[in-house]
Amino acid sequence: MTLAAAGALALAAALDRTFSEPPTPIHPVAWLGRVVAALDARLPDSRGVGVALAAVVPAAFAVLLAAPVFAAGTLLPRSAAPAAAAAGLVLFVCSSHRMLLTVAGDVLERVDHDVDAARRELRALAGRDAADLSTEHVRSAVVESAAENLADGLIAPLLGFVVGGILAPYAGLSAAGGLVVAAGAAAWIKGVNTLDSMLGYRDRRAGWAPARLDDAVMWLPARATALLLVAAGWRRASTGPVATLGRARSAARVPDSPNSGWPMGSLAAVLRVRLTKPGTYTLFPEGTLPTASEARAGVRVVSRAGWLGFGVAGVSLAL
């Protein structure tokens, strides 16, 4: 079964490389966002509502996206190929690599000649008020967000897919059944991330449960992303990979989030720069904010780390 799952992962990587993202009108994650927004508008802002949403919404999204994989395996039970193709499509819509790189590159391209346009474009990457950010702070935000979104948008669903694909045979599931579990795991994690991004704010009572669930789910992906970023870019650092990870670990404690500091700190350590969210946190205050060339180098490191993540996931499934 793991070979079928590795094939599904390869398909997802190829689709990401070729198409970047499905069109918004048919994108399941966009559908999920509209459903969450509609529920949020109609339900009271309470912890109980947040707990219910955290329990139901990601699970329902997982079932919805795993259903085509199940159907493919049921209709053509003699071959795992149809279920693998369906699972690859699910992983594709639940992960994002090329789009992240494209948006980050666009912001960096614009910031040098139209900082206002870059501030507007930054909203697609970073959930912060960019109206007063300087050119240097926009570059810092791009580097931070590219690293953090790599964890949320790619490594987390990949990890869920891999864990589901590896563990399914031990539960006695067929190849098709394992693909259903793997696809459902990736979709569930994407549902958790999406719910947190929409509701998980300190001023929202309904956001407490989604935020805590996201903290738990992202614990391992954030640290795996840190390892991948250091592996992809440690030659830029002034120290070896172990020392670079040590610097990243110290920076990871600075933000309030138990997870976001790991990918951000790793990329900052690799680039040897200071990253800051004004009024909130500063990583490596002794350094300087990224220059244009350093920020672009950071996006390239994120790109390599993403492809390395695909490779590690594929090898893990094929072994």
Q: Where are the domains of the chain?
A: 2-318
Q: How many CB atoms lie within 10 A of CB 279?
A: 7
Distance CA 171, CA 188 (A): 19
Token pair of 139, please?
Answer: 């570059």
State the pTM of this model. 0.96
316 torsion bin: left (phi>0), alpha (psi -120 to 50), beta (else)? alpha
47-104 confidence digits (pLDDT tens): 999 999 999 999 999 999 999 999 999 988 788 899 999 999 999 999 999 999 999 9
User: Are the C-beta atoms of 305 and 177 separated by less than 8 Å?
Assistant: no
Q: Which residue has the tokens 């009271």?
A: 44
Q: Which residue has the tokens 């670990």?
A: 249
pLDDT at residue number 76: 81
pLDDT at residue number 279: 87
Beta bridge partners of 283: 275
Q: 1 pLDDT exceeds 70?
A: no
Q: 291 pLDDT exceeds 70?
A: yes
Distance CA 298, CA 303 (A): 9
Quick one: average pLDDT of 206-219?
A: 98
At 248, the pLDDT band (50, 70, 90 cuts) reads: very high
**CA-wise closest residue to 152 among 76, 73, 99:** 99
Please provide the average confidence, as pLDDT, over all residues in the chain: 94
Amino acid in position 82: P
Distance CA 312, CA 227 (A): 12
At 318, the pLDDT band (50, 70, 90 cuts) reads: confident
Quick one: average pLDDT of 205-209?
A: 97
Instruction: Name 116's Cβ contacts closer than 8 Å, sequence gap at least 6.
Output: none
2-42 confidence digits (pLDDT tens): 789 999 999 999 999 999 999 999 999 999 999 999 999 99
Query: What percent of the chain is modeled with pLDDT above 90?
Result: 86
Q: 129 pLDDT exceeds 80?
A: no
Q: 211 pLDDT exceeds 70?
A: yes
In the three-class reduction of DSSP (H, G, I as helix; E, B as strand; rest coil), residue 96 is classed as coil
At 237, the pLDDT band (50, 70, 90 cuts) reads: confident
The DSSP code for 225 is H
155-187 confidence digits (pLDDT tens): 999 999 999 999 998 898 888 999 999 999 999
Alpha helices in the chain (DSSP H): 2-19, 28-42, 47-75, 81-94, 98-111, 115-122, 135-150, 156-167, 175-199, 208-217, 219-233, 241-252, 261-271, 292-318
